[in-house]
Amino acid sequence: MRYRRSDVPGASYFFTVVTYGRQPLLARAEAVAIFESARRSVQQRRPFVLEAQVVLPDHLHALWTLPDNDRDYPTRWRLIKEAFTRGYAGSNRVQEPDPRRRARGERAVWQRRYWEHLIRDDHDFSART
């Protein structure tokens, strides 16, 4: 079964993104700064409005609104995760225990998937901010 994501252009989405194995990688201020730098860099190249965000030690929640006629949040998340991983792994030891993931060049930083929720109305938006 193939997972299908919502893809409404110009919509607002609520995301939950989790670290690999729920490791508390985001517990330190330095790691949050690396994440924020990655997000800002991607946001400059592929704009979106960051409506709200909460960063917790092992996951984060974010509420984004995409530009009109743009539905490509998966690329944005991929780029953010890649940039964070490069920055974080550069100054921290990151061991990839799974040889299959290691063979694909993956690191034990983020879970592969994330959860997204299409915001359907003002009440839904308010409930998530």
Give domain limits for the chain.
12-127
Class of domain 12-127: alpha beta
pTM (2 d.p.): 0.88
Please state, in angstroms and rounded to a whole number, the distance separating the CA atoms of residues 48 and 62. 12
φ, ψ of residue 44 in degrees (nearest 5): -70, -40
User: Of 7 and 24, which is predicted with more confidence?
Assistant: 24
60-100 tens-digit pLDDT = 999 999 999 999 999 999 999 999 999 998 777 776 666 77
